[in-house]
Homo-oligomer: A and B are copies of this chain.
């Protein structure tokens, strides 16, 4: 399939400032708070990874919860990660790298710990073939995106710049689907998950090595999205992100802790699938097809309340973090 149009996230949600001023000021937080219960989607326990770091200097527990990305994305690595968690492979490993404005990375510092049987680096692509017929959720999201770009092209071709496109710097088309942030381009039938703050990816060596999933990182600064399509995005941190983002930066190459800084490596006590825990935590995300989510994006792109007086008229897809919260039922 050749996509015949390109689009921009912000355009679909552009709204003149005067249209907002007539109603009561709303914020992204207030929109999410008012979402209906049926607009929230439960996250399955086998899609939740619970990582217990060693307590901090004051003895406080540090629990990090990762939501794994659903099919059709990055599944060979996600399966490896479930195998590693079931084997308790990460227990006793550590956080070994913290590079400012880039990533925090964890795994086996010795690089010699044997992997469970069957865990090998997949020989596969970081992108996924779009199935417009067999995947109605994705097809719906992409159709909306195509409509927006058709309008955009019309305005441009007629020289009318009263309404004009803002864009994503890294991809022709960005969409939210399945509660995730995805990107595609006009001349391919491939779609891929992108790197945003708190997203989790698979560390690896030089290409074509794709990594196994034993070595993981999360984005702790401005997402460097040239990583998209070059590394496997396998999940995102939905709780406890601050325990990984506030660690002391390593002074070695690429932010690895040097041998003199070995005491700064944060021990990982355990990593478990929530489905293996006796009292599993439980989370839900705001359905990205819901009316509240659309409203949330609009408000994010057009902040206009007592604090913000100049609405941007657009928003970076990574600044539209999909709302996730502990399950209420």
Contact = CB atoms under 8 A, between A and B. Distances in A.
B169 A207 contact: no
A300 interface: yes
A152 to B, nearest CB: 9
A167 B165 CA distance: 8
A133 B312 CA distance: 28
A129 interface: no
Nearest to A126: B310
A197 B222 contact: yes
Interface in A146-182: 153, 156-157, 159, 161, 164-172
Interface stretch (A40-48, A84-92, A243-251): A243-251
Nearest to A174: B169
B101 A169 contact: no
A187 B162 CA distance: 9
Contacts of A169: 8-10, 166-169, 312, 314-317, 319
A122 interface: no
29 contacts: A9-B169, A101-B245, A153-B156, A156-B156, A156-B157, A165-B165, A165-B167, A166-B172, A167-B168, A169-B169, A169-B314, A170-B316, A208-B309, A220-B221, A220-B245, A221-B221, A221-B245, A222-B316, A222-B318, A224-B319, A225-B316, A225-B319, A226-B301, A226-B311, A228-B312, A230-B303, A242-B249, A245-B245, A245-B246
Contacts of A208: 309
A6 B165 CA distance: 9
A310 B227 CA distance: 9
Contacts of A241: 100-101
Contact of A312 (B9, B225, B308): B225
Contact of A246 (B8, B172, B229, B248): B248
A57 interface: yes
A33 interface: no
A226 to B, nearest CB: 4
Given A206-B306, A311-B226, A8 B167 contact: yes
Interface string A6-20: 101110000000000
Contact of A230 (B186, B309, B315): B309
Nearest to A197: B222
Contacts of A10: 169
Interface in A181-228: 186-187, 196-198, 206-208, 220-226, 228
A309 B101 contact: no
Contacts of A221: 197, 220-222, 245
Contacts of A224: 319
Interface in A239-275: 241-242, 245-249
Given A167-B167, A221-B245, A229-B310, 18 more contacts: A9-B169, A157-B157, A165-B167, A166-B168, A168-B169, A169-B317, A169-B319, A197-B222, A220-B245, A222-B222, A222-B319, A224-B319, A226-B315, A226-B319, A230-B308, A230-B309, A242-B248, A245-B246
